[in-house]
Amino acid sequence: MADTALVLGAGGVTGTAWETGILHGLAKAGVDLSTADLIVGSSAGAIVGAQLASGLVAIGDLYERQLAEPESEKGAAARLGPVTVLRYARAVLSSRTPDEYGRKLGALARDSRPGATAAERREAIASRLPSPEWPERHLLITVVDATTGALHTFDRTGTVALTDAVTASCAVPAVWPVVSAGGGSWIDGGVHSPANAQLASGYERVVVIAPTASGNKVIVSPRAQAAELEAAGARVEVITPDAATRKAIGRNSLDPARRAAAARAGLAQSAAHTEAVAAVWNG
């Protein structure tokens, strides 16, 4: 088996902040997960993964950025309206597989009017990345094919630019535009699963940081995916939001006004996981 893998899950603006807080707290306690042999990033995790893998900005500085006033960018304060939430629910109830669910959300995304143009959304994502270049570290960015609903990954060996890959992974259906890149059309990687931890298969030691803890009838939860990795022989630790974090995040994970509170909650929560993560990470 390969060695270490860090899986960073989906969870909106607050998920990005919370993951950064968790990583900062662990690093302060002497557990630096940026050394991972593989980093898997989905949606919020794609942003954090790209930041971490670049090695250009210290995790403490990334954390401090989460505490700053939210940027003024087009469509920054987004939310899933009640009609969209209902359509999501109907897609779940009428689907039997993640791919079928992805196809339905892909159709929803194509039929929607997002709060920003594709160029505006790409510019907003680019402003959060330390570099537009793929890092040398093994980074996988997840996306879902808006036509077939299938999970796909981008990495530095392909032809898709890092900024486009991360923008696609963050393309929440009916909130942000579908992303066209590499000859395909893509939506949020978290549509397939909140963590996509199955992509760490074959790695001996895995830490999963997942802002979205639950699954549903077609989407597998992070802990269920972790159990499958453990059954295959891996040592796995899963971190999901505690009660204080859930309160800090509130009901809209896409609200930048909740970002600083989510980051602080992540930093505070990290202390409860340091020992278990260190036991997995340090073998």
**The pTM of the whole model exceeds 0.75:** yes
State the pLDDT at residue 1.
55
Domain 2-73+112-280 CATH assignment equals 3.40.1090.10: yes
What is d(CA 74, CA 45) in angstroms, rounded to the nearest whole number?
21
What is d(CA 45, CA 34) in angstroms, rounded to the nearest whole number?
13
State the pLDDT at residue 72.
52
The list of the chain residues with pLDDT below 50 reads: 73-77
State the pLDDT at residue 79.
65
Distance of CA 249 to the CA centre of its chain: 15
State the pLDDT at residue 262.
98
Q: pLDDT per residue over 10-50, tens digit each?
A: 999 999 999 999 999 999 999 999 999 999 999 999 999 99
- Catalytically active residues, by annotation: 43, 188
What is d(CA 15, CA 255) in angstroms, rounded to the nearest whole number?
10
What does the chain look like in DSSP terms, one character per residue? Answer: -EEEEEEE---HHHHHHHHHHHHHHHHHTT--GGG-SEEEEETHHHHHHHHHHH-SS-HHHHHHHHHSPPP--TT-S----HHHHHHHHHHHHT-SSHHHHHHHHHHHHHHS--SS-HHHHHHHHHTT-S-SSPPSS-EEEEEEETTT--EEEE-TTSSS-HHHHHHHHT--TTTS--EEETTEEEEEGGGT-SS-GGGGTTEEEEEEE-S-----SSS--HHHHHHHHHHTT-EEEEE---HHHHHHH-S-TT-GGGHHHHHHHHHHHHTTTHHHHHHHHT-
Token duo for residue 3 = 């060695």
